[in-house]
């Protein structure tokens, strides 16, 4: 651990703050991708970008790939983080600052430690490896866009271009040293209720209220914590144009997650049954779509190469591996499904997706040190 005094002139802290000052909400990652590209190409590295996630947006960008050919025996590893943040107050500009040993946001904007702390640690480690010509068996970077929009960048990634045998994403709360060994599957449930409009004060009986049907559907659902492995939620409802018009359209968007696929299917089926029953009772039509957002994984009984390397790297820097289960998804879910064994590693970020988001300088350096340790461990025979 670093024992010397840390200030904003500290290179890793300064790099993170510089990244955090660049607004990059989902769909607007162009500036931060350009920043990282310039830094990597300045090291003489091979860098390429995938197709923009959204063709109709000048601020949209594609996934960023980088390859650093190895010069020793061992296994090539992938380091990954995402370049976007959640959207925050549109009138608030990112304003990170160093408060003692903690980096916070001075504005109503999120700090962006999710996931720019990981971006800073990865970029700083790569710069050290290249400039000091440290030996390694091969390093590849995949810095995704669109993670906060539903892992869209990961789903659009081109893993066939990579040589890595395993990967490490840095995108979870919890102390550095924690490995996420269990993650659920998620399905989104979308329903559009279609009724009949009418003047609410003259001929309300001629209308078919789509909002009433949607409300009855939600009221009939079991939501929240279903059991220790399963959750469900309806988070968006939209409908109506005026208070004196019986609304003929209303949409709801919900989700279900579970570590058990049978429980997930049962919960989704129950939500669909409630939607259909409410539509029938209110005499409206309904269109339902189910989307597989991501597939879960369970490494609690052993996760193979990435978990083994991570455990060794964590111990190498003097920490004790911790094992955590999460209710969320990450790019790791997608990469594992695509056939690249990956593990998600905690970064030390706290209160993410809020203006109170923060990360300590110690966590930044632990992450940086763990990346260097992963590179060293990948050179060993397994």
Confidence of residue 16 (pLDDT cuts 50, 70, 90): very high
pLDDT value at 109 more than 80: yes
Average pLDDT of the segment spanning 5-17: 80
DSSP H helices, the chain, are 11-20, 30-41, 113-131, 152-155, 210-219, 261-281, 304-316, 331-338, 361-377
Cross-strand bridge partners of residue 316: none
Predicted pLDDT at 381: 61
pLDDT value at 333 more than 80: yes
Distance CA 183, CA 325 (A): 6
Residue of 10, 147, 282, 376 marked catalytic: 147
Question: By percentage, how much of the chain surpasses pLDDT 90?
Answer: 89
Predicted pLDDT at 93: 85
Asked which of 49-63, 247-261, 289-303 is least confident by mean pLDDT, the reply is: 49-63
Mean pLDDT of the chain: 94
Predicted pLDDT at 382: 55
Do residues 368 and 12 make contact, with C-beta atoms less than 8 angstroms apart? Answer: yes
Catalytic residue check, 140: no
Distance CA 46, CA 140 (A): 10
Chain centroid offset of residue 26 CA: 10
pLDDT digits 0-9 by tens, 287-328: 999 999 999 999 988 879 999 999 999 999 999 999 999 998
Average pLDDT of the segment spanning 23-31: 93
Predicted pLDDT at 94: 87
Pairing of strands 64-68, 46-49: antiparallel
Average pLDDT of the segment spanning 224-240: 97
Average pLDDT of the segment spanning 23-34: 94
- Exposure string (b/e) for 8-19, b if CB count within 10 Å is 16 or more? eebebbebbbeb
Tell me how long the chain is: 382
Catalytic residue check, 132: no
pLDDT value at 53 more than 90: no
Question: By percentage, how much of the chain surpasses pLDDT 70?
Answer: 97
- Phi, psi (degrees; rounded to nearest 5) at 280: -65, -45
pLDDT digits 0-9 by tens, 57-84: 777 899 999 999 999 999 999 999 999 9
Distance CA 184, CA 231 (A): 10
pLDDT digits 0-9 by tens, 169-186: 999 999 999 999 999 999
CA distances from 237 to 173, 214, 226 (A): 29, 8, 21
Enter the tokens of residue 247. 């609304």
pLDDT value at 359 more than 80: yes
> At which residue do the structure tokens 């193979």 appear?
304
Q: Which domains does the chain have, with CATH numbers?
A: 11-183+296-377 (3.40.630.10), 187-294 (3.30.70.360)
Predicted pLDDT at 92: 82
What's the pTM value of the predicted model, to 2 decimals? 0.90
pLDDT value at 3 more than 70: no
Residue 227, CB-side half-sphere exposure with 13 Å CA sphere:
10
Residue 1, CB-side half-sphere exposure with 13 Å CA sphere:
9
Q: HEC profile for 287-313?
A: EEEEEEEECCEECCCCCHHHHHHHHHH
- Exposure string (b/e) for 109-138, b if CB count within 10 Å is 16 or more? bbbbbbbbbbbbbbbbbbbbbbeeeeebbb
Confidence of residue 236 (pLDDT cuts 50, 70, 90): very high
Predicted pLDDT at 331: 96
Confidence of residue 9 (pLDDT cuts 50, 70, 90): confident
Distance CA 97, CA 17 (A): 7
Q: Cβ neighbours of residue 102 under 8 Å, at least 6 residues apart?
A: 358, 359, 360, 361
pLDDT digits 0-9 by tens, 111-148: 999 999 999 999 999 999 999 999 999 999 999 999 99
Predicted pLDDT at 5: 41
Residue of 84, 350, 369, 376 marked catalytic: 84
pLDDT value at 262 more than 50: yes
């Amino acid at each position: 651990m670093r024992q010397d005094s840390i200030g904003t002139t500290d290179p890793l802290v300064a790099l993170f703050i510089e990244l955090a000052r660049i607004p990059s909400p989902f769909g607007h990652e162009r500036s931060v991708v350009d920043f990282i590209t310039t830094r990597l190409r300045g090291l003489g590295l091979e860098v390429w970008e995938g197709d923009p996630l959204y063709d109709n947006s000048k601020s949209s960008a594609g996934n960023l790939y980088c390859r650093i050919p190895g010069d020793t025996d061992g296994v090539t590893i992938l380091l990954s983080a995402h370049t976007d943040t959640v959207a925050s107050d549109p009138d608030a500009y990112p304003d990170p600052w160093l408060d003692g040993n903690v980096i916070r946001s001075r504005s109503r904007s999120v700090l962006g430690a999710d996931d720019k702390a990981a971006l800073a640690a990865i970029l700083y480690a790569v710069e050290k490896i290249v400039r000091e010509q440290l030996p390694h068996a091969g390093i590849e970077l995949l810095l995704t866009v669109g993670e906060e929009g539903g892992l869209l960048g990961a789903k659009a990634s081109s893993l066939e271009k990579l040589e890595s045998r395993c990967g490490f994403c840095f995108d979870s709360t919890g102390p550095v040293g924690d490995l996420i060994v269990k993650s659920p599957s998620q399905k989104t449930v979308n329903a559009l209720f279609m009724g009949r409009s009418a003047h609410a004060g003259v001929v309300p009986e001629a209308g078919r209220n789509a909002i009433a049907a949607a409300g009855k559907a939600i009221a009939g659902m079991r939501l929240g914590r279903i059991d220790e492995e399963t959750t469900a939620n309806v988070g968006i409802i939209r409908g109506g144009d005026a208070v004196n018009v019986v609304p003929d359209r209303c949409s709801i968007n919900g989700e279900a997650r579970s570590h058990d696929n049978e429980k997930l299917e049962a919960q989704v089926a129950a939500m669909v049954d409630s939607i259909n029953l409410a539509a029938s009772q209110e005499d409206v039509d309904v269109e339902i779509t189910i989307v597989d957002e991501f597939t879960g994984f369970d490494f609690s009984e052993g996760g193979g190469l990435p978990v083994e390397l991570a455990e060794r790297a964590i111990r190498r820097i003097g920490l004790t591996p911790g094992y955590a289960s999460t209710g969320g998804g990450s790019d790791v879910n997608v990469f594992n499904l695509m056939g690249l064994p990956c593990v998600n590693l905690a970064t030390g970020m706290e209160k993410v997706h809020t203006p109170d988001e923060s990360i300590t300088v110690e966590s930044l350096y632990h992450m940086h040190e763990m990346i260097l340790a992963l590179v060293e461990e990948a050179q060993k025979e397994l």
